[in-house]
């Protein structure tokens, strides 16, 4: 019962370092149908993360990945990156800063089991400000799912 | 890679103190190098603390101890291939290695790359790094107070003591050059003073 009660609430993602992720709304999805989950990330002022498509090979991209079940992640849609110039780079870099959203489109397989479940995601990022960089980090993002 | 926040770093340091060849957490005045830019001037000799000893592998697989460099001025740079500000400073350090090596100076770069030599060796070749690169780990990060922000660069004097700490991209290479020159020169001055005292004693 406790587990079921817990699954009815949005789960709190781990917050690490200068990037935090808001609790993700519960996703209710029909078997065989599609649904979307929105991840809202907040970066501390002054910091940026490399976008999912960094402008330099040596930079670590932001990447959201999902477990293979119970849902299938069909598409991860990142926001449009900003092009920003920093003291440490002669050319503008492709980054995200401030608050930004990442949308994932899921499909519930027709043969998946009905009921409550957790879909686990991981958001890997590497942040810098104008003068210094922090090591890459990964935030665990659990999403409560109700499959009908 | 687990990089600790200041308090965690302090706790980690206490635990590690028993098993590491090390001179103590209190020797790192700037414990917990968090996300902030710090550019400390060279400290007076009596205020300097001993740099923690470490043993790390270089790109040839050779174990390098900081103690191997006692008697030299060492620029110890914590960096990573994914760190843009580090990439700006590396050419400065290449220049310093070239310019000052004959005066008893050495640069040691400690890479904090998770992917190890696979990431670091091609980068060393690309940038034509002429100084020794070591592969860092959580332990060395911990004993240096939890190195979080990169670059973090320490200037260590000939006695193995930390003379200055720079966190983040420095204001310019001249800032480092002046400090290195001063440390190399001040040592000569100290040696000169010692010699004068000895002569006077005779």
Q: Strand order of the sheet with strand A63-66?
A: A27-29, A137-147, A115-125, A63-66
Q: Which CATH number covers residue B153? A: 3.40.30.10
Chain A residues near residue B81 by CB distance under 8 angstroms: 58
Q: How far is CA B112 from CA B33, B58, B197, in A?
A: 14, 13, 45
**Is there a domain that residue B155 lies in?**
yes
CA distance B194 to B186: 12
Q: Could you confirm whether B86 is annotated as catalytic?
A: yes
The pLDDT assigned to B112 comes to 97
Looking at every residue in chain A, the average pLDDT score rounds to 91
Tell the CATH superfamily of the A2-147 domain.
Thiol:disulfide interchange protein DsbD, N-terminal domain (2.60.40.1250)
- Residue with token string 């098993």: B19
Q: What is the pLDDT of residue A14?
A: 65
Decide if B83 is catalytic: yes
Can you give the residue ranges of every domain in chain A? 2-147
| Stated pTM of the model | 0.80
Would residue B188 count as lying in a domain? Answer: yes
Cβ contacts from A onto B, under 8 A: 63
Domain contains B176: yes
Tokens of A58: 């040596």
- Judge whether residue A144 has pLDDT over 90: yes
Q: Chain B: nearest CA to A79, how far in angstroms?
A: 22
Query: Nearest CB to A58: which of B82, B150, B169?
Result: B82
Whether residue B124 lies inside any domain: the answer is: yes
Per-residue model confidence (pLDDT) at position A8: 56
Instruction: Count how many domains chain B has.
Output: 1
- The answer to whether B104 and B71 are in contact (CB under 8 A) is yes
Measured in angstroms, the CA of B42 and the nearest CA of chain A are apart by 21
CA-based nearest distance B49→chain A, Å: 25
Cα torsion through B37, B43, B49, B52, rounded to 10: 50
Residue A98 in this model has a pLDDT that exceeds 90: yes
Contact list in B for residue A59 (CB cut-off 8 A) is: 82, 84
For the stretch A55-72, pLDDT in tens is 988 899 999 999 999 999
The secondary structure of chain A in percent helix, strand, coil, rounded to multiples of 5, reads 5, 50, 45
Average pLDDT over residues A89-100: 95
Residue B1 domain-assigned (yes or no): no
Name the token pair of A41.
């990330």
pLDDT values of chain B reduced to their tens digit, one per residue, 202 residues: 434 344 344 333 333 333 333 333 334 444 344 455 666 688 998 999 999 999 999 999 999 999 999 999 999 999 999 999 999 999 999 999 999 999 999 999 999 999 999 999 999 999 999 999 999 999 999 999 989 899 999 999 999 999 999 999 988 899 899 999 999 985 444 444 444 444 444 4
Interface test with B, best of A89, A94, A133, A136 (most B CBs within 10 A): A133
CB contact under 8 A, A59 and B3: no
Decide if pLDDT at A4 tops 80: no
Q: Is the CB of B83 inside 8 Å of chain A's CB atoms?
A: yes
- Residue B126, domain extent: 6-201
């Amino acid at each position: 019962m406790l587990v079921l009660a817990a699954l009815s609430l949005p789960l709190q993602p781990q917050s690490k370092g200068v990037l935090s992720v808001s609790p993700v709304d519960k996703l209710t999805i029909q078997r065989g149908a599609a649904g979307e989950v929105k991840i809202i990330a907040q970066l501390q002022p002054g910091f940026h993360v490399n976008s999912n498509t960094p402008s330099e090979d040596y930079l670590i991209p932001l990447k959201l990945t999902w477990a293979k079940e119970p849902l299938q992640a069909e598409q991860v849609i990142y926001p449009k990156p900003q092009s920003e110039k920093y003291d440490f780079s002669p050319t503008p870099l492709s980054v995200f800063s401030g608050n930004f959203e990442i949308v994932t489109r899921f499909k519930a397989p027709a043969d998946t089991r009905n009921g409550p479940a957790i879909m686990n995601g991981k958001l890997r990022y590497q942040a810098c400000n104008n003068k210094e960089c922090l090591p890459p980090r990964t935030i665990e993002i659990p999403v409560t799912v109700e499959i009908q | 890679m687990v990089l600790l926040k200041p308090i965690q770093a302090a706790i980690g340091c206490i635990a590690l103190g028993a098993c590491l060849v090390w001179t103590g957490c209190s020797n790192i005045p700037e414990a917990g190098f968090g996300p902030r830019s710090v550019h400390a001037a060279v400290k007076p000799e009596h205020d300097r603390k001993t740099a923690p000893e470490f043993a790390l592998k270089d790109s040839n697989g050779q174990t390098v101890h900081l103690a191997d460099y006692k008697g030299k001025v060492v620029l110890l740079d914590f960096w990573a291939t994914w760190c843009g500000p580090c990439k700006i400073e590396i050419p400065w350090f290449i220049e310093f290695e070239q310019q000052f090596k004959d005066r008893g100076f050495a640069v040691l770069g400690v890479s904090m790359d998770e992917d190890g030599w696979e990431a670091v060796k091609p980068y060393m070749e690309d940038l034509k790094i002429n100084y020794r690169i070591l592969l860092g780990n959580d332990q060395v990060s911990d004993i240096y107070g939890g190195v979080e922000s990169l670059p973090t660069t320490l200037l260590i004097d000939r006695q193995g003591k930390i003379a200055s700490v720079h966190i983040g991209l420095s204001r310019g290479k001249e800032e480092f050059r002046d400090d290195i020159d001063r440390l190399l020169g001040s040592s000569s001055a100290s040696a000169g003073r010692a010699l004068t005292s000895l002569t006077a004693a005779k």
